[in-house]
Amino acid sequence: MLALRMDLKHATTWRRGMESWYLAYALLGASAAGLVPILLPLMVYEMSGAAYTGLVVAAYNCGGLTAPLWGGLADRYRLHRSLLGGGLLLAALGLTAFPFALDLPSRTGLALLQGMGASGAATVANLFVVEAHPEREWEERIGWLQTFYATGQVFGLLLAGALSRTSLSIGLFTAAGLMLLAALLGWATTRTPSLALPQKPVVMQPPRHGEWPIGSPQHLFHHWSPEMLQGWGRNLCSPFALFLLSWLFAFAGSWGFFSLYPVLMQQVFGVSPWLLSIGSAVAHGLGLFLFVPAGLWSERQGPERVLGSALSMRLLAFTALFGLGFVAFGGQGWLALSCVIVVILSWSLLSVSGTALVAHLSQMGEGEGMGLFNATTALAGITGSALGGWVAEQWGYQASLGLPVAGVAVGLLLTRCIRRDHTLDRSPKFSLGQGDS
């Protein structure tokens, strides 16, 4: 009888962390982080070539920079529910119209529209948690929210693999349909919280899903402010600034690859979008089980060591991929796919250690530090996407494989400088106000 009561208590606690509107974010993950990363570059490449592909993906990433606008509107006018439904509808509209766009300006504008809609929906995700529930439940609820998003991402990648073998237009229409379904579900299952918090809480939890910046509540939640930028100016020569610079180089290089990787893997290694989607889905699924060990390693060895190990792991995989681009032999495609899987798996370690280093190194308050960290991630996605397409157009896809090698190598070198020249403050921080210093 006692065991039965304990099981019932555990089940109640387990279910308390989930809500029906999480299904809307699972559908957002399926579309924005599963279907779009595979199908959008393929369609743009068929229409315009490599350079334009990079520009369009960069425009999509630019949509994430509008997150402070959506967050401000939600707070000032209490528009949480409308922003969720409206953002998803905006993204669905951009996806539906994209196959009919015939020139670069319209494709770029529609990609920006998609990114803005996805970021508008994802920005309010944490707000639905922290403004409607007590602080003791935040971590559990946000963890479940990210689990739903990651599950949707894996499902979307599998679906992208199937649809890439039929019609890219049908694939984007399917992504739009998922967004529309998410909008209807989100509107029916959410209610705008009645009161705004006096300060934005800092939820120091790494993004526990695949490497895709637009849809992550963790990447979009922290708002920029003049005080944050002033604090950045005072810390230009700090270890935190060096860490952000290393992150910028490493992720700009990585996004030079990710913005083109369905096209690049097909053109250079003969890996079909179908096979790449299946491999990516498997890698993202396995990566979910690495977040907890990554946290333990970060606590025991220090986040700077875990970050360095993850970047070394990624550098080796990208270097092997670069070398494979200049040879041809049987099984080349499978080896290349294995390298991509290693790159994807390294994200779990990078996500955990990077977030921990923000808490350790930032001298300007955790909220402002997270804001700059997320802005750096967005800037890296935009820069890397545009640069990757340009390099591929000028010197070919083999040359573009050198971009992630160079970027990650520079990032790793800067990380080693932090580790060698500065002693990290490993004292725990529990600040929950973005204005705290």
For residue 102, how many other CB atoms are within 10 A of its CB?
Answer: 7
Residue 400 falls within a domain, yes or no?
A: yes
Task: Look at residues 168, 201, 234 and tell me which one is the last residue of a structural domain.
Answer: 201
Q: With contact defined as beta carbons under 8 Å apart, do 391 and 403 qualify? A: yes
212-243 b/e (C-beta count within 10 Å ≥ 16 → b): bbbbbbbbbbbbbbebbeebbeebeebbbebb
Asked whether residue 117 is domain-assigned, the answer is yes
Q: Are 152 and 28 in contact (CB under 8 A)?
A: yes
Examine the domain organization and report whether 128 and 239 are in the same domain: no
Residues 420 and 122: their CA atoms lie apart, in Å, by 38
pLDDT recorded at residue 376: 82
46 and 189 in a single domain? The answer is yes
Cβ density class 23-41: b for 16+ within 10 Å, e for less: bbbbbbbbbbbbbbbbbbb
Residues in the chain: 437
What are the DSSP calls for 314-346, one per residue?
A: HHHHHHHHHHHTT---TTHHHHHHHHHHHHHHH
Q: Which of 144, 170, 201 is the last residue of a domain?
A: 201
- Averaged pLDDT, groups of 10, the chain, 437 residues long: 40 63 94 94 90 92 80 81 92 96 92 90 79 80 86 95 92 97 94 70 66 57 57 69 92 93 94 95 92 89 93 97 90 95 94 86 70 80 92 91 96 82 43 31
**253 and 176, same domain (yes or no):** no
Domain check: are 44 and 115 in the same one?
A: yes
Q: What is the DSSP letter of 198?
A: S
Q: Which helix (H) or strand (E) holds 246?
A: helix 239-258
Which two three-digit tokens encode residue 91? 């993204």
For residue 43, is it within any domain?
Answer: yes
Q: Which of 266, 45, 273 is nearest to 159 (CA)?
A: 273
Predicted pLDDT at 333: 94
Residues 107 and 240 in one domain: no
Do both 38 and 156 map to the same domain? yes
Number of structural domains the chain divides into: 2
Residue 300 is part of a domain; what is its CATH number? 1.20.1250.20
| Domain that includes residue 255, residue range | 223-426
pLDDT value of position 346: 95
Tokens of 325: 């681009």
The reported pLDDT for the residue numbered 417 is 84
Question: Is residue 246 domain-shared with residue 131, that is, in the same domain?
Answer: no
- Are 234 and 360 within one domain? yes
217 in a domain, yes or no? no
Q: Are residues 197 and 56 in the same domain?
A: yes
**Whether residue 27 sits in one domain with residue 102:** yes
Closest to 121 in 3D by CA, of 178, 166, 172: 178
Q: Is residue 134 part of a domain?
A: yes
Model pLDDT, residue 228 = 60
433 Cβ contact list (under 8 Å, min separation 6)? 199, 200, 201, 202, 365, 367
Whether the CB-CB separation of 348 and 223 falls below 8 Å is answered with no
Q: Are residues 155 and 271 both part of a single domain? A: no
Location of structure tokens 């490493």: 250
Instruction: Supply the angle between the helices 239-258 and 261-269 in degrees, to the nearest 10.
Output: 60
Q: What pLDDT is recorded for position 5? A: 42
Token pair, residue 227, equals: 């005080």
Answer yes or no: is 6 within a domain: no
Asked if residue 113 lies in contact with residue 63, where contact means CB atoms within 8 angstroms, the answer is yes
What pTM, to 2 d.p., does this model score? 0.86
Domain boundary residue among 144, 168, 201?
A: 201
CA dist 56 and 192 (Å) reads 33
* Residue 433: inside a domain: no
- Residue 144 located in a structural domain: yes
Q: Are residues 153 and 273 in the same domain?
A: no
